[in-house]
Amino acid sequence: MASQNTPTLIVIAGPTASGKTAAAIALARHFNTAIISADSRQFFREMSIGTAKPTDEELAAAPHYFINSHAIIEPFSVGDFERQGMQLINDLFKVHNTVILAGGSGLYIKAITDGFDELPSADPAIREKLNKELSENGLAALQEQLKNVDPTYYDEVDIHNPQRVTRALEVFLSTGKPFSSYRTASAVKRPFQTIKFALDWDRETLYNRINQRVDLMIEQGLVDEVKSLLPYRHLNALATVGYSEIFNYLDGNTDLPTAIAAIKQNTRRFAKRQLTWFRREGNMIWMDASKPDMVEAMIAITEQERQK
């Protein structure tokens, strides 16, 4: 049975633009604790506007970790996040009874809560073959392959991210086993209690929030941010929604309104995949994010869960 003294990790998950930052800060202030980001792009100092990082005021409202923690040129995998994140959590639990983990990257959250299965090393020849296919036939061809061999992961992954798509295909072609099978093993026993919340909106409202966020990113200078990253566009971190579309515009392949519309559409698709992931996860407590008393309800549920 848990108790008030049991170290507790509160997870705040959900799709992009669902209000995770505000909820995490409110809970962190209530429990006088820190927030660990589980957003696979907010780690990088050079990517701010397009990743919707917390504002300076939000960062000052509670201690945050794994935001602006790495340079874009540093390789940083989900395995690295698990190792560094667990070390940080162990340190934080020495001074806090509660720690917040917030973000929309389901694989990174799972790495902390359940442990991350070590993936096999890719055969260099397979990686070279996939990169050649990507270059010659485009991402759509690899997406179709992934859909055929691992429909579970296809439904969840950001299929516009070539790194994620090619990595999943590497694993399948190297082992004969789908990438998704490597995260269905028994969860690692962690030395803390985990309470998982997921923020939910009706679909129309969520999509409107996403569209408004993209418009705000443009107003804040997303195009200039992407221009500043042109020397690094080959890096995997930038092969992602919000950056790929602006690179396409800067290459002269489309106009800006079309690029903005593509960001909105691809972000909505990504949000749908995030929801698919979290709905397949067990032990998620879904919260109606439109309710003004949502945070109070989360606090009450946390106290109840600690007594089980």
Indicate the annotated binding residues for ATP.
14-21
Give, to the nearest 10 degrees, the angle between helix 294-306 and helix 20-31: 50
**Radius of gyration of the CA atoms of the chain, in A:** 19
Round to whole Å and give the CA distance between 177 and 180.
8
Residue environment code for 147-164, b if the CB has 16+ CB neighbours within 10 A, otherwise e: eebbeebbebbbbbbbeb
Beta-bridge partners for 200: 288
Q: Indicate the annotated binding residues for substrate.
A: 16-21
Q: Which residues are annotated as a binding site?
A: 14-21
Q: Contact 237/162 with Cβ under 8 angstroms?
A: no
Please give the Cα distance from 103 to 148 (Å, whole number).
29
The C-alpha angle with vertex 207 and arms to 59 and 16, in degrees rounded to 5, equals 30
**H or E element that contains 227:** helix 222-228
